[in-house]
Amino acid sequence: MTERLILLGVGTCQLEPGRATSAVLLELDDLRLVYDFGRGTADRLASLDLRQDDVESIVLSHYHPDHVSDLVPYLHAASHSRTDPRSRDLHIYGPPGLDDVVGRLLGLFGPGSLVVEERFTVHLEVVESGTLAIGPHRFEYRHLPPAGNHGLKLARGGRSYALTGDSDFHREEIDFLSGVDLAIFDSGHLSEDQIVELAVASRAKRMICSHIYEPLDEVALNARASARGYTGEIRIGHDLMELGLSG
Ligand SMILES: [Zn+2]
């Protein structure tokens, strides 16, 4: 498949027409994974004509509802859809607490309601901050304060891509984005001053604002960052925005 990132949503817990909560689809030649799975993610995957068995891995940044809640409708459909029942195992990766939070979520409605054991298994795989291995792929999976959140970073063809999930403005965030070719970052917990500062300090080449709470002014952000010597580009993300992994 074409190697690409698609922003499934750029929103937050706020209910906004046209905006799902922040989640990213990553497609590599031999892997399709979804990073975070909050409100609207399942519908966005369906709108891309992706069937249940097309998605093998979900990586959770942390356990706030806006990052996990659509696991319920997604797995309900996996088990009981008549047009697209799941037959392939699903791997869910997340920080410590995975069994407690996601295990309880999946068990909430009783046996067989979200996972029909005869057809597929959901594997819950706890990942400590550091390296996440999925098949032949190695991701950096890094704790970013303050919400117990974990960013995901991938190196591919001499380029680097970073997703921050739900972060804040701090030294760890700057280090995580330092010099990356593309960052899809939580801009909603940052002020406009901090977004500019993050661009200038990290020197990330392209920065896509996601997890958006307040309206953002793309022109003004770029002008202010540029005046501080930033040579990259800041863009406001939107749902279903597609970004290639090359060029
Ligand atoms: Zn969030």
Distance 133 CA to ligand 1 centre (A): 24
pLDDT of the residue at 246: 78
Distance 102 CA to ligand 1 centre (A): 16
Q: Read off the CATH number of the domain in which 193 is found.
A: 3.60.15.10
Distance 73 CA to ligand 1 centre (A): 19
Q: Let me know: does 167 contact 188? Beta carbons within 8 Å.
A: no
pLDDT of the residue at 129: 86
Q: Let me know: does 149 contact 43? Beta carbons within 8 Å.
A: no
Distance 41 CA to ligand 1 centre (A): 13
Tell me the two tokens of residue 140. Answer: 């950096």
List the chain pLDDT tens, one digit each, 247 residues.
Answer: 789 999 999 999 999 999 999 999 999 988 999 999 999 999 999 999 999 999 999 999 999 999 999 999 999 999 999 999 999 999 999 999 999 999 999 999 988 899 988 999 999 999 998 999 999 999 999 999 998 999 999 999 999 999 999 999 999 999 999 999 999 999 999 999 999 999 999 999 999 999 999 999 999 999 999 999 999 999 999 999 999 997 5
Q: Residue 240, Cα to own-chain centre: how many angstroms? A: 13
CA distances from 62 to 7, 96, 126, 141, 182 (A): 18, 9, 11, 11, 21
User: Looking at the 3D structure of the chain, how many domains does it have?
Assistant: 1
Which residues have a beta carbon within 5 Å of ligand 1, which is an ion? 66, 166
Sheet of 130-134: strands edge to edge?
130-134, 137-144, 149-156, 159-163, 182-186, 206-210, 233-236
Q: What is the pTM of this model?
A: 0.96
Torsion angle in degrees (nearest 10) through CA of 134, 87, 7, 201: -20
pLDDT in tens, 24-70: 999 998 899 999 999 999 999 999 999 999 999 999 999 999 999 99
In angstroms and rounded to an integer, the radius of gyration of the C-alpha atoms of the chain is 18
CA distance 81 to 160: 37
Torsion angle in degrees (nearest 10) through CA of 158, 159, 163, 164: 90
Among residues 10, 3, 68, which one has the least CA distance to residue 32? 3
Residue found under tokens 């410590």: 96
Distance 130 CA to ligand 1 centre (A): 21
Q: Is 18 exposed, middle or buried (0-12, 13-18, 19+ CB in 10 A)?
A: exposed
Q: Let me know: does 11 contact 43? Beta carbons within 8 Å.
A: no
Written as one letter, the residue type at 90 is L
Instruction: Find the domain containing 13 and state its range.
Output: 4-244
DSSP 21: B
Measured from the Cβ of residue 4, the count of other Cβ atoms closer than 10 Å reads 14
